[in-house]
Homo-oligomer: A and B are copies of this chain.
Protein backbone atom coordinates (compact mmCIF):
# COMPACT_ATOMS: atom_id res chain seq x y z
CA UNK A 1 0.00 0.00 0.00
CA UNK A 2 1.27 3.47 -0.98
CA UNK A 3 2.34 5.64 1.93
CA UNK A 4 0.56 9.00 2.16
CA UNK A 5 0.91 12.15 4.18
CA UNK A 6 -1.94 14.23 5.48
CA UNK A 7 -2.20 17.74 4.08
CA UNK A 8 -4.53 20.62 4.90
CA UNK A 9 -5.97 22.00 1.64
CA UNK A 10 -8.47 24.66 0.52
CA UNK A 11 -10.75 22.75 -1.77
CA UNK A 12 -14.05 23.38 -3.60
CA UNK A 13 -16.44 20.70 -4.84
CA UNK A 14 -18.75 22.99 -6.81
CA UNK A 15 -18.44 26.40 -8.45
CA UNK A 16 -19.97 29.39 -6.65
CA UNK A 17 -19.47 31.98 -3.95
CA UNK A 18 -15.92 31.35 -2.64
CA UNK A 19 -17.11 32.19 0.89
CA UNK A 20 -19.46 29.22 0.71
CA UNK A 21 -17.86 26.64 -1.55
CA UNK A 22 -14.24 26.87 -0.40
CA UNK A 23 -13.52 24.45 2.50
CA UNK A 24 -10.42 23.64 4.53
CA UNK A 25 -10.13 19.85 4.41
CA UNK A 26 -7.52 17.20 5.06
CA UNK A 27 -6.42 15.38 1.94
CA UNK A 28 -4.07 12.45 1.51
CA UNK A 29 -1.00 13.10 -0.64
CA UNK A 30 1.34 10.33 -1.86
CA UNK A 31 4.49 10.44 0.26
CA UNK A 32 6.69 9.13 -2.56
CA UNK A 33 6.80 11.13 -5.79
CA UNK A 34 6.95 9.08 -9.00
CA UNK A 35 9.46 9.33 -11.78
CA UNK A 36 9.86 12.96 -12.96
CA UNK A 37 7.75 14.25 -10.08
CA UNK A 38 8.42 16.11 -6.86
CA UNK A 39 6.75 16.12 -3.47
CA UNK A 40 6.42 19.87 -2.85
CA UNK A 41 5.69 21.59 0.44
CA UNK A 42 3.86 24.79 -0.51
CA UNK A 43 4.98 27.82 1.46
CA UNK A 44 3.05 30.86 0.30
CA UNK A 45 0.47 31.80 -2.34
CA UNK A 46 -1.44 35.04 -3.02
CA UNK A 47 -5.18 35.34 -3.66
CA UNK A 48 -5.32 36.70 -7.21
CA UNK A 49 -8.50 37.88 -8.97
CA UNK A 50 -8.00 34.85 -11.25
CA UNK A 51 -8.43 32.53 -8.24
CA UNK A 52 -11.74 34.15 -7.33
CA UNK A 53 -12.98 33.88 -10.92
CA UNK A 54 -12.03 30.24 -11.13
CA UNK A 55 -13.87 29.34 -7.93
CA UNK A 56 -16.94 31.29 -9.12
CA UNK A 57 -16.84 29.31 -12.36
CA UNK A 58 -16.38 32.55 -14.34
CA UNK A 59 -13.04 31.60 -15.84
CA UNK A 60 -12.89 30.68 -19.52
CA UNK A 61 -11.67 27.15 -18.78
CA UNK A 62 -13.45 25.28 -15.96
CA UNK A 63 -11.39 22.73 -14.10
CA UNK A 64 -12.73 19.28 -13.25
CA UNK A 65 -14.15 19.24 -9.70
CA UNK A 66 -13.09 18.88 -6.94
CA UNK A 67 -10.34 21.50 -7.23
CA UNK A 68 -7.72 22.77 -4.80
CA UNK A 69 -7.35 26.55 -5.26
CA UNK A 70 -4.37 28.78 -6.09
CA UNK A 71 -2.62 29.83 -9.28
CA UNK A 72 0.69 31.32 -8.21
CA UNK A 73 3.00 30.55 -5.28
CA UNK A 74 6.28 29.30 -3.92
CA UNK A 75 7.09 25.87 -2.56
CA UNK A 76 10.05 23.79 -1.45
CA UNK A 77 10.91 20.39 -2.84
CA UNK A 78 10.70 17.84 -0.02
CA UNK A 79 11.58 14.84 -2.11
CA UNK A 80 12.44 14.52 -5.80
CA UNK A 81 11.40 11.38 -7.68
CA UNK A 82 13.76 9.40 -9.86
CA UNK A 83 15.01 11.32 -12.88
CA UNK A 84 13.64 14.63 -11.57
CA UNK A 85 15.69 17.70 -12.46
CA UNK A 86 15.02 19.11 -8.96
CA UNK A 87 16.55 18.25 -5.63
CA UNK A 88 15.34 18.33 -2.08
CA UNK A 89 15.36 21.91 -0.74
CA UNK A 90 14.94 23.61 -4.12
CA UNK A 91 12.50 26.50 -4.16
CA UNK A 92 9.99 26.20 -6.96
CA UNK A 93 7.06 28.03 -8.46
CA UNK A 94 4.65 27.15 -11.23
CA UNK A 95 3.53 28.79 -14.41
CA UNK A 96 0.28 27.04 -15.07
CA UNK A 97 -3.24 27.53 -13.78
CA UNK A 98 -3.82 23.85 -13.18
CA UNK A 99 -1.54 22.98 -10.26
CA UNK A 100 -3.12 22.83 -6.78
CA UNK A 101 -1.22 25.24 -4.52
CA UNK A 102 -3.47 25.99 -1.56
CA UNK A 103 -2.36 22.75 0.09
CA UNK A 104 0.45 21.99 2.50
CA UNK A 105 1.82 19.24 0.30
CA UNK A 106 1.38 18.16 -3.27
CA UNK A 107 3.01 15.88 -5.82
CA UNK A 108 3.77 17.92 -8.93
CA UNK A 109 5.07 16.97 -12.34
CA UNK A 110 8.54 18.41 -13.14
CA UNK A 111 7.14 19.98 -16.30
CA UNK A 112 4.92 22.26 -14.26
CA UNK A 113 7.65 23.47 -11.92
CA UNK A 114 10.03 26.38 -12.37
CA UNK A 115 13.20 26.53 -10.26
CA UNK A 116 13.50 29.69 -8.20
CA UNK A 117 16.64 31.08 -6.62
CA UNK A 118 16.40 30.16 -2.93
CA UNK A 119 17.70 33.59 -1.94
CA UNK A 120 14.53 35.33 -3.14
CA UNK A 121 12.33 36.35 -0.18
CA UNK A 122 9.30 34.07 -0.02
CA UNK A 123 6.63 36.78 -0.32
CA UNK A 124 8.30 38.01 -3.51
CA UNK A 125 8.88 34.46 -4.77
CA UNK A 126 5.16 33.73 -4.28
CA UNK A 127 4.22 36.61 -6.63
CA UNK A 128 7.10 36.54 -9.06
CA UNK A 129 5.56 34.92 -12.14
CA UNK A 130 2.92 37.41 -13.26
CA UNK A 131 3.58 41.06 -12.37
CA UNK A 132 7.37 41.34 -12.78
CA UNK A 133 7.38 39.36 -16.08
CA UNK A 134 4.53 41.55 -17.40
CA UNK A 135 6.61 44.62 -16.58
CA UNK A 136 9.75 43.08 -18.10
CA UNK A 137 8.07 42.07 -21.36
CA UNK A 138 6.45 45.49 -21.77
CA UNK A 139 9.71 47.34 -21.10
CA UNK A 140 11.88 45.06 -23.23
CA UNK A 141 9.89 43.73 -26.17
CA UNK A 142 8.13 46.68 -27.84
CA UNK A 143 10.49 49.64 -27.87
CA UNK A 144 14.27 49.70 -27.79
CA UNK A 145 14.69 51.78 -24.62
CA UNK A 146 18.06 53.27 -23.74
CA UNK A 147 19.21 54.46 -20.35
CA UNK A 148 17.65 57.84 -19.64
CA UNK A 149 14.62 57.25 -21.88
CA UNK A 150 11.20 57.98 -20.43
CA UNK A 151 8.18 55.75 -20.07
CA UNK A 152 4.76 56.78 -18.79
CA UNK A 153 2.21 54.54 -17.07
CA UNK A 154 -1.17 54.70 -15.41
CA UNK A 155 -2.23 52.41 -12.55
CA UNK A 156 1.26 53.03 -11.21
CA UNK A 157 0.45 51.66 -7.75
CA UNK A 158 -0.87 48.32 -9.02
CA UNK A 159 1.24 45.19 -8.80
CA UNK A 160 2.39 45.57 -12.40
CA UNK A 161 2.82 49.33 -11.94
CA UNK A 162 5.11 48.86 -8.95
CA UNK A 163 7.16 46.26 -10.86
CA UNK A 164 7.47 48.74 -13.73
CA UNK A 165 8.75 51.46 -11.39
CA UNK A 166 11.34 49.18 -9.79
CA UNK A 167 12.44 47.73 -13.10
CA UNK A 168 12.82 51.16 -14.70
CA UNK A 169 14.98 52.19 -11.76
CA UNK A 170 17.10 49.03 -12.13
CA UNK A 171 17.44 49.37 -15.91
CA UNK A 172 18.11 53.12 -15.97
CA UNK A 173 14.83 54.25 -17.55
CA UNK A 174 12.86 57.20 -16.18
CA UNK A 175 9.27 56.58 -15.14
CA UNK A 176 6.36 59.05 -15.20
CA UNK A 177 3.64 57.57 -13.02
CA UNK A 178 -0.06 58.42 -13.03
CA UNK A 179 -2.35 57.31 -10.19
CA UNK A 180 -5.98 58.02 -9.36
CA UNK A 181 -6.52 60.64 -6.71
CA UNK A 182 -7.43 59.26 -3.25
CA UNK A 183 -7.23 59.94 0.43
CA UNK A 184 -3.62 59.86 1.62
CA UNK A 185 -2.39 60.55 -1.91
CA UNK A 186 0.81 62.03 -0.46
CA UNK A 187 1.58 58.79 1.39
CA UNK A 188 1.09 56.85 -1.83
CA UNK A 189 3.36 59.22 -3.75
CA UNK A 190 6.02 58.90 -1.07
CA UNK A 191 5.77 55.13 -1.27
CA UNK A 192 6.19 55.15 -5.08
CA UNK A 193 9.11 57.57 -4.87
CA UNK A 194 10.66 55.29 -2.26
CA UNK A 195 10.62 52.31 -4.66
CA UNK A 196 12.14 54.44 -7.44
CA UNK A 197 9.44 56.46 -9.26
CA UNK A 198 10.93 59.51 -10.98
CA UNK A 199 7.65 61.45 -11.27
CA UNK A 200 4.21 60.81 -9.77
CA UNK A 201 1.02 62.69 -10.71
CA UNK A 202 -2.68 62.18 -10.15
CA UNK A 203 -4.72 62.11 -13.38
CA UNK A 204 -5.98 65.62 -12.62
CA UNK A 205 -2.51 66.95 -11.84
CA UNK A 206 -1.12 65.54 -15.08
CA UNK A 207 -4.00 67.01 -17.07
CA UNK A 208 -3.14 70.44 -15.71
CA UNK A 209 0.62 70.24 -15.94
CA UNK A 210 1.58 67.79 -18.68
CA UNK A 211 2.54 70.40 -21.28
CA UNK A 212 4.70 72.35 -18.86
CA UNK A 213 6.16 69.19 -17.34
CA UNK A 214 7.11 67.68 -20.72
CA UNK A 215 8.73 70.97 -21.66
CA UNK A 216 10.75 70.83 -18.46
CA UNK A 217 12.15 67.36 -19.20
CA UNK A 218 12.62 68.31 -22.86
CA UNK A 219 11.79 64.83 -24.22
CA UNK A 220 8.70 62.75 -24.73
CA UNK A 221 8.14 59.23 -23.40
CA UNK A 222 8.76 56.47 -25.95
CA UNK A 223 6.49 53.95 -24.25
CA UNK A 224 3.14 54.18 -22.45
CA UNK A 225 1.93 51.30 -20.27
CA UNK A 226 -1.83 51.11 -19.82
CA UNK A 227 -3.66 49.02 -17.23
CA UNK A 228 -6.73 51.23 -16.97
CA UNK A 229 -8.39 52.12 -20.28
CA UNK A 230 -11.00 54.81 -21.00
CA UNK A 231 -9.72 58.38 -20.98
CA UNK A 232 -6.69 57.31 -18.96
CA UNK A 233 -5.34 55.41 -21.97
CA UNK A 234 -5.91 58.55 -24.03
CA UNK A 235 -4.05 60.65 -21.48
CA UNK A 236 -0.85 58.62 -21.43
CA UNK A 237 -0.81 57.80 -25.16
CA UNK A 238 -1.31 61.43 -26.20
CA UNK A 239 2.04 62.54 -24.81
CA UNK A 240 4.15 59.87 -26.53
CA UNK A 241 6.94 60.88 -28.87
CA UNK A 242 6.28 60.47 -32.59
CA UNK A 243 6.14 56.76 -33.43
CA UNK A 244 5.93 55.78 -29.75
CA UNK A 245 4.15 52.68 -28.49
CA UNK A 246 1.32 52.16 -26.01
CA UNK A 247 1.07 48.66 -24.51
CA UNK A 248 -2.13 47.65 -22.70
CA UNK A 249 -2.04 44.88 -20.09
CA UNK A 250 -5.35 45.42 -18.35
CA UNK A 251 -8.59 47.38 -18.34
CA UNK A 252 -9.23 48.21 -14.71
CA UNK A 253 -11.75 50.94 -15.57
CA UNK A 254 -13.82 48.33 -17.43
CA UNK A 255 -14.12 50.95 -20.21
CA UNK A 256 -12.82 50.59 -23.75
CA UNK A 257 -9.35 52.02 -24.32
CA UNK A 258 -9.42 55.41 -26.05
CA UNK A 259 -6.88 56.89 -28.43
CA UNK A 260 -7.11 60.21 -30.30
CA UNK A 261 -7.02 60.62 -34.08
CA UNK A 262 -4.13 62.99 -33.53
CA UNK A 263 -2.08 60.37 -31.64
CA UNK A 264 -2.82 57.56 -34.09
CA UNK A 265 -2.80 59.37 -37.42
CA UNK A 266 -0.48 62.33 -36.98
CA UNK A 267 1.78 61.12 -34.19
CA UNK A 268 1.96 57.62 -35.68
CA UNK A 269 1.77 55.78 -32.37
CA UNK A 270 1.45 52.01 -32.27
CA UNK A 271 -1.03 50.43 -29.86
CA UNK A 272 -0.49 46.88 -28.65
CA UNK A 273 -1.66 44.59 -25.87
CA UNK A 274 -0.11 41.76 -23.90
CA UNK A 275 -1.24 38.96 -21.59
CA UNK A 276 1.87 37.49 -20.04
CA UNK A 277 0.43 33.99 -19.69
CA UNK A 278 -0.48 33.73 -23.36
CA UNK A 279 2.74 35.43 -24.42
CA UNK A 280 4.91 33.02 -22.48
CA UNK A 281 3.14 29.96 -23.86
CA UNK A 282 3.72 30.90 -27.50
CA UNK A 283 6.38 28.63 -28.96
CA UNK A 284 8.22 31.53 -30.61
CA UNK A 285 8.63 33.29 -27.25
CA UNK A 286 10.16 30.35 -25.37
CA UNK A 287 13.76 31.62 -25.35
CA UNK A 288 12.66 35.13 -24.43
CA UNK A 289 10.45 33.81 -21.66
CA UNK A 290 13.33 31.85 -20.16
CA UNK A 291 15.49 34.98 -20.38
CA UNK A 292 12.71 36.95 -18.71
CA UNK A 293 12.38 34.48 -15.81
CA UNK A 294 16.15 34.54 -15.40
CA UNK A 295 16.45 38.34 -15.42
CA UNK A 296 13.49 38.82 -13.12
CA UNK A 297 15.09 36.43 -10.63
CA UNK A 298 18.44 38.24 -10.80
CA UNK A 299 16.67 41.53 -10.05
CA UNK A 300 14.83 39.84 -7.17
CA UNK A 301 18.02 38.39 -5.68
CA UNK A 302 19.70 41.79 -5.97
CA UNK A 303 16.79 43.37 -4.08
CA UNK A 304 15.98 45.57 -7.08
CA UNK A 305 12.43 44.32 -7.24
CA UNK A 306 10.52 43.77 -4.03
CA UNK A 307 7.24 42.22 -2.96
CA UNK A 308 4.15 44.37 -3.18
CA UNK A 309 2.55 45.14 0.19
CA UNK A 310 0.51 42.07 1.25
CA UNK A 311 -1.36 40.89 4.32
CA UNK A 312 -0.26 37.45 5.50
CA UNK A 313 -2.94 34.96 6.52
CA UNK A 314 -3.07 31.25 7.27
CA UNK A 315 -5.29 28.83 5.33
CA UNK A 316 -7.63 28.49 8.32
CA UNK A 317 -8.49 32.19 8.01
CA UNK A 318 -9.49 31.83 4.38
CA UNK A 319 -12.99 33.28 4.80
CA UNK A 320 -11.67 36.61 6.08
CA UNK A 321 -8.99 36.68 3.39
CA UNK A 322 -11.44 35.87 0.59
CA UNK A 323 -13.90 38.45 1.95
CA UNK A 324 -11.20 41.13 1.81
CA UNK A 325 -10.21 40.05 -1.70
CA UNK A 326 -13.82 40.21 -2.87
CA UNK A 327 -14.26 43.70 -1.44
CA UNK A 328 -11.12 44.79 -3.23
CA UNK A 329 -10.32 47.60 -0.81
CA UNK A 330 -7.68 45.79 1.25
CA UNK A 331 -4.15 45.08 0.17
CA UNK A 332 -3.50 41.75 -1.51
CA UNK A 333 -3.91 38.67 0.72
CA UNK A 334 -1.06 36.15 0.90
CA UNK A 335 -1.65 32.66 2.27
CA UNK A 336 1.27 31.50 4.39
CA UNK A 337 0.59 27.83 3.90
CA UNK A 338 3.19 25.85 5.74
CA UNK A 339 3.48 28.25 8.60
CA UNK A 340 5.58 25.97 10.77
CA UNK A 341 8.10 25.50 8.02
CA UNK A 342 8.34 29.00 6.74
CA UNK A 343 6.99 31.62 9.12
CA UNK A 344 10.42 32.88 9.97
CA UNK A 345 11.24 33.45 6.31
CA UNK A 346 8.16 35.36 5.20
Contact = CB atoms under 8 A, between A and B. Distances in A.
Interface string A117-128: 000000000000
Contacts of A263: 273
A249 B261 CA distance: 8
A245 to B, nearest CB: 10
A278 B264 CA distance: 13
A130 to B, nearest CB: 13
Contact of A258 (B248, B257, B269): B257
Contacts of A265: 248-251, 273-275
B259 A264 contact: no
B256 A260 contact: yes
Given A258-B258, A266-B275, 19 more contacts: A229-B261, A248-B265, A249-B265, A250-B261, A250-B265, A251-B260, A251-B265, A256-B260, A257-B258, A257-B259, A257-B261, A257-B264, A259-B259, A265-B275, A266-B273, A266-B278, A268-B272, A268-B273, A268-B278
19 contacts: A229-B261, A231-B256, A248-B261, A251-B260, A251-B261, A256-B260, A257-B258, A257-B259, A257-B264, A258-B258, A259-B259, A261-B273, A264-B273, A265-B273, A266-B275, A267-B273, A269-B273, A270-B270, A271-B272
Contact of A272 (B229, B261, B270): B270
Candidate in A234, A265, A278 with the most chain B CB atoms within 10 angstroms: A265
Contacts of A234: 256
A248 B272 contact: no
Interface of A: 229, 231, 234, 248-251, 256-261, 263-275, 278
A273 B251 CA distance: 22
Contacts of A250: 261, 265
A248 B273 contact: no
Contacts of A256: 231, 234, 258-261
Contact of A264 (B248, B264, B267): B248
Q: A-B pairs with the 5 shortest C-beta distances?
A: A264-B273, A251-B261, A271-B271, A256-B258, A265-B273
Nearest to A262: B251
Nearest to A267: B273
A251 B250 CA distance: 25
Candidate in A256, A263, A271 with the most chain B CB atoms within 10 angstroms: A256
A140 B229 CA distance: 30
A266 B271 CA distance: 14
A25 B231 CA distance: 49
Nearest to A275: B265
A75 B273 CA distance: 47
Contacts of A259: 256-257, 259, 271
Contacts of A264: 248, 257, 271-273
Contacts of A269: 273
Contacts of A270: 270-272
A263 B274 CA distance: 10
